[in-house]
Amino acid sequence: MQQDKIQELIRKAEEILPNSYAPYSGIHVASAILTDKGNIYQGVNIENASLGLTMCAERTAIFNMVTHGDRKPIIVAIVTDYEEPIPPCGACRQVIAEFNPEATIAMYSTKSKKLVITNLKQLLPTPFKIKQE
Ligand code: THU
């Protein structure tokens, strides 16, 4: 069941992987997110000549989700053409945790065909939080 959804998200991310803008690192990354409402949102990494302005694929996808009025990612797939699956960077972990600290994270490399599945709780056990009413 969850395996089928993960496969669908990997396909959705692979679809947009050619849109990744990564002329500096050459590492192309795409993300696809399934929400509790059953919607899917996509995003790619977008680099910049001012390297620090680079945006990761996962955050692009999360911002796309919020822009469209969805708030709870259930599965976040991260697909890359790098030789190994890419785990979300620290900033992306914190941004995903804002919306679901227990999201499933599926990482896939189109090069090695390796798939790694984990949970954000494992990757970021204590996200920074501010209490909300
Ligand atoms: N990158 C992502 O898109 N997501 C991550 O979680 C890690 C890194 C991108 C940023 C940059 O364009 C390239 O990978 C190399 O760091």
CATH number at residue 60: 3.40.140.10
pLDDT digits (tens, 9 = 90+) for 53-91: 999 999 999 999 999 999 999 999 999 999 999 999 999
First to last CA, the chain: 35
Gap between the Cα atoms of 127 and 34, Å rounded? 21
Number of domains in the chain: 1
Q: The whole model's pTM is what?
A: 0.97
Give the whole-angstrom CA distance, residue 16 versus residue 30. Answer: 7
pLDDT tens-digit series, residues 3-49: 999 999 999 999 999 999 999 999 999 999 999 999 999 999 999 99
- Domain hosting 29: range is 2-123
Residue 130 lies inside a defined structural domain of this protein: no
Q: What angle do CA 72, 5, 96 make, to 5 degrees?
A: 30
Answer yes or no: are the C-beta atoms of 103 and 74 closer than 8 Å: yes
Ligand 1 site-directed mutation target among 48, 56, 92, 95, most atoms within 8 Å of CB? 56
Ligand 1 in reach of 89 Cβ (< 6 A): yes
